[in-house]
Structure 1
């Protein structure tokens, strides 16, 4: 395989970045990592990293960061391939796409497209235009929002942000679940006071194992070339969070819904559509699209679907072929640290028992951070956790 182009990975303090580094580095791709600080960026310790860069902050100094990245790329012999590891980096690339694509290889070619898909309002309008089922949504700017929610949605329902990253950084949760009028009014006031745009949305009924994903790679002609489906079992925060225990499971209906939609809207590169299956009707509702590498990328790679490598190969002019997983392997992805927090919450709320949870520890699964062949990131991660515990103890004293 040709590896003369570098990969530039934005964001090194989370296991998604680490997974991208390993997915590429194991195949000989030179990987340059970029972050705004060394502290907490444990993915930088991977043996597959060939270059460590510290640059300006992606949002506090966005213009400087853009100039920093362009300056780096101009000094390379070949255009590097650019990888965002989280939504804020996606939005940064989208803002400066026209400038960045002059010196970087990037899957998406239309400025603003990624951001429109991250924006739940715009995504749902787009989905409805293509006859993809989405939860019923009520805009909060209307004067009769409370009455409409009670008449058309009922309780429980959810208050959901258009911009998830800002909402999460403000409230430390992905949304507000409301069960009565007082909670609805309180949640809307919190969002308004924080200056965050939200909508009120139908709560599709079903436990967390009713959440499914369609993970696909689309080539530069916007055709699905590779795809896998999976079923969540546990999330953190529980009920409305990211996967901490998820299994590969073949669900052909997800391909029937997801592939035509992504192709019709002209998507390019990796995408993950999250669906929820209504426990009463069996209908699948599109919940959101992740336009960057998924958090269980390591599981996909183990299954033979190395999405970061597919992007690298296609963008550097190499053949990628086609593949799909049309059987159930039950291979799982497990992020143990957050799953411990989630497990306590599931048990406390009565949704699961410790027996249910511990049983899954005997199943075949892929971890998020630790690797015997690449141990330094895991050791640095554990060291960081130990320091946090130590600091808490010191503060209490």
Structure 2
């Protein structure tokens, strides 16, 4: 019997698109989450098995046992694909024992975590000649003076470990304008026992954010890649992609492939760059080491990352491919984009006319798929429940 794919996370559209990307090629997909409620990816017709297991944070050892027990019952080792940062951290923490029963691209334990950690990532990037925004460590002596001389205000207070920060503050970072604000936000992070750094803001609107999305084989060579340009994000200015276009930018391949191959990376990674509006230089902002928000867009361009991963790990790799033209395709997460548009217009960053004009393009939807409508219906019910909860005052 052929290998199955085990997808970790089904309560967000990244998990859903991963299930679909595998299911359309008749791969048997077992999707894992910790609760039925809200896990709309489990409603997909491409989900062959829906598994409810222990919570990755509350009972990681229980989840390891649950997954290994599942793998032991299979004729062939399944391919394991995490679709959210906490699941990546979980896999990295338990990589040796999971690798005994699952096919996983990465062999080096700790590399995922090293890349997700902003401090170690910046060190790695600098060693490999990739520009990173000027950064000051809050534990440095005279850190306030360093911020004022090397970075200046406004600047960003960013977490070293993003998932913990987002879980605590419901935000990816803090933007501060004064010394008082800086100290207040740094102290908030310290009280929550979350490590942060202070970083210069690279000038440029949100459309100066770009991504290099790549798959590297077991020899750490880039075999598949595509580049994209963010147009809108939510929360605005420092959030996740909600309206993003595929855009061929060859310089990003030069920077991104050299870096990922240099650190001997294996599997999928998405590097986020920001282009300095004043100098034109690209700065590495962060790296996603799990399936990305843009997964459905990448698939529509011909770069189906979950299936590329599956085929390589099961010994039947797909031919290399790069997208070296503009295909006029955009990724759209309608719900959060509408929230973002309201904020962009309110703050004068975009005009209504420019927003309306942007919509007349072929789209890769985050959730909606006419061939697989049930997840969108389930998401709609989840959303309606949240709205009713807010209106009636329930948490």
Could you say which TM-score interval applies, normalised by the shorter chain? Answer: over 0.9
Shift of 1:202: 1.1
The offset of 1:392, in angstroms, is 2.5
Tell me the residue number matched to 1:203.
201
Q: Alignment partner for residue 261 of structure 1, among 254, 259, 262?
A: 259
- Measured after TM superposition, the shift of residue 310 of structure 1 is 0.4
Aligned alpha-carbon RMSD (Å): 1.0
**How far apart are the structure 1 equivalents of 2:260 and 2:392?**
51
SS in 2 for 1:359: helix
Deviations 1:308-348 (A, max 9, x none): 00000000000321111111112100001011111111111
Consecutive aligned runs of 4 or more in structure 1 exceeding 3 Å deviation: none
The one of 216, 229, 247 aligned to 2:214: 216
Mapped to 2, the partners of 1:395 and 1:216 lie a distance apart of 44
Matched, 1:280 2:278: yes
Distance 2:150 2:108 in 1: 36
Matched, 1:181 2:176: no
1:358 match: 356
C-alpha separation in 2, matches of 1:364 and 1:374: 18
1:130-150 alpha-carbon deviations (Å, 9 max, x no partner): 111101111101231111100
- Cα distance in 1 between the residues matched to 2:285 and 2:393: 41
Which residue of structure 1 lines up, in the alignment, with residue 38 of structure 2?
40
Distance 2:222 2:63 in 1: 33
SS in 2 for 1:372: coil
Aligned equivalents of 2:282, 2:141: Cα separation in 1: 31
Q: 1:127 to 1:340 in 2, by over 3 A?
A: same
**Aligned partner (choices 59, 73, 76) of residue 74 of structure 2:** 76
Task: State the match for 1:242 in structure 2.
Answer: 240
Q: What is the aligned counterpart of 1:145 among 129, 132, 143?
A: 143
Q: 1:298 aligned to 296, 299, 314, which one?
A: 296
With normalisation by structure 1, the TM-score equals: 0.98
Distance 2:390 2:85 in 1: 30
**1:391 maps to 2:389:** yes
Deviation for aligned residue 1:390: 2.0
The answer for the alignment partner of 2:50 in structure 1 is 52
1:379 maps to what in 2? 377
In the alignment, which residue of structure 2 is the partner of 1:314?
Answer: 312
Q: Distance in 1 between matches of 2:127 and 2:141?
A: 26
Output the TM-score relative to the length of structure 2.
0.98
Quote the offset at 1:349 in angstroms: 1.3
The CA distance in 2 between the partners of 1:285 and 1:268, in whole Å, is 22
SS in 2 for 1:333: strand
Shift of 1:391: 2.4
Q: Which residue of the other structure, out of 123, 126, 130, is the alignment partner of 1:125?
A: 123
The whole-number CA distance in structure 2 between the counterparts of 1:306 and 1:172 is 30
1:303 Cα deviation after fit: 0.9
SS in structure 2 opposite 1:32?
Answer: strand
- Is 2:355 aligned against 1:344? no
Q: Secondary structure at the match of 1:49?
A: coil
What is the alpha-carbon distance in structure 2 between the residues aligned to residue 264 and residue 392 of structure 1?
49
